[in-house]
Amino acid sequence: MTPVHTFLGSLTLFVMAIFLGFELIKKVPPTLHTPLMSGANAISGITVVGALVLSNVRFAGASTEVSGWLGFVALVFAMINVVGGFAVTDRMMKMIAGKKKGGQS
């Protein structure tokens, strides 16, 4: 496979994943969004591992420096997602715990 075919295949898969993700999230009731965020944190954890593994792979004759920078950017975005998701989930759990104790926070 040529690099162009590999790129077009990857781009097609990326665009299809965007559409599928949008359709799935659009059909989820708002009361389930926060519990699903905890599951998304696990997926972002897998993204972190993938970014670490792929940061030293050579793509289509490019240097490993390019893939290292791309892996670093992917790692930063995934970590922002993981930390932010856990912060929101923790805040929600504290709100639920506050309601159980009679509204005290």
pLDDT digits (tens, 9 = 90+) for 7-60: 888 888 889 988 888 887 788 776 666 666 667 777 777 778 877 777 777 666
Q: In terms of pTM, does the model score above 0.75? A: no
Segments making up each domain of the chain, as ranges: 30-100
* Mean pLDDT of the region 80-87: 82
Tokens of 46: 């897998």
Phi, psi of 31 (to 5 degrees): -70, -15
Distance CA 97, CA 105 (A): 8
